Amino acid sequence: PHYLLLDDTALEGYDSHKKMNPPLREKSDQEALVAALVDGTLDCVATDHAPHTEAEKQRELAYAPFGVTGLETSLAAVLTRLVHTGLMKLPAALALLTSRPAAILGLDGGRLEAGAPADLVLFDPEEAWTVRGAEMASKGRNTAFEGMSLTGRVRATVLGGQVVYAREGEAERFSPRPWRAVASHA
């Protein structure tokens, strides 16, 4: 999702927190990506959640590893760029992150109906917030969006019917739960 909001000008300061693979492209490429999502040419948005330690990302750009933390900002990036600009309605944008990837991978998920897995994200689509790497839940806090204002914030995550993450005000609560293997038919 970082390609929706950032282009190659973000690297003008040689900020290794914005070093990713594939690298950020020109504004015209970003606009083509957005257009392809809006017109349905592209089916989904995937996250590039490649966290690194602060020490790794503090190296000079040429020596720093590729990758950024993307999972915690993915929903807000999609909402900020596609929904809050009026390019896409909320249900269509959510499908890019949920039902479409599930269908492509042959997973029984990405939908809210009786018998479907109770894997949900509760969010406030209108909450504006400023991204701060130091506040990320991931062990890697190398966000390409440091200091950027995004709109749309996750309030809770439910996995298998169990609340595994909840944000109440500025307080966060985690309930550790072992990851479960998901068989893919792809």
* pLDDT tier at 185, thresholds 50, 70, 90: very low
What confidence score (pLDDT) does residue 186 get?
Answer: 46
132 vs 140: which has the higher pLDDT: 132
* pLDDT tier at 111, thresholds 50, 70, 90: confident
What confidence score (pLDDT) does residue 30 get?
Answer: 98
Tokens linked to 78? 């999609």
What confidence score (pLDDT) does residue 177 get?
Answer: 57
Percent of the chain with pLDDT over 70: 91
DSSP characters for the chain? Answer: -HHHH--GGGGTT--GGG--SSPP--HHHHHHHHHHHHTTSS------B----HHHHTS-TTTSPS-B--GGGHHHHHIIIIITTTSS-HHHHHHHHTHHHHHHHT-S-SS-STTS---EEEEEEEEEEE--GGG-SSS----TTTT-EEEEEEEEEEETTEEEEEEETTEEEE------------
Summarised one tens digit per residue, pLDDT across range 61-75 is 999 999 998 889 999
Q: d(Cα 67, Cα 49) in Å, to the nearest integer?
A: 7
Averaged pLDDT score across all residues of the chain: 89
Q: What is the mean pLDDT of residues 118-143?
A: 90
Task: Look up the pTM and report it.
Answer: 0.89
* pLDDT tier at 14, thresholds 50, 70, 90: very high
Active site residue 48: yes
Tokens linked to 106? 């042959």
Residues in Cβ contact with 31 at an 8 Å cutoff, skipping those fewer than 6 apart? none
123 vs 47: which has the higher pLDDT: 123
**Fold of the 2-111+128-152 domain:** TIM Barrel (3.20.20)
* pLDDT tier at 168, thresholds 50, 70, 90: confident
Tokens linked to 11? 């690297």
Tokens 């406030």 sit at which residue? 124
What confidence score (pLDDT) does residue 176 get?
Answer: 65
Least confident of 44-58, 106-120, 127-141: 106-120
What confidence score (pLDDT) does residue 73 get?
Answer: 95
Q: Which of 48, 108, 119, 124 is catalytic?
A: 48
What confidence score (pLDDT) does residue 108 get?
Answer: 82
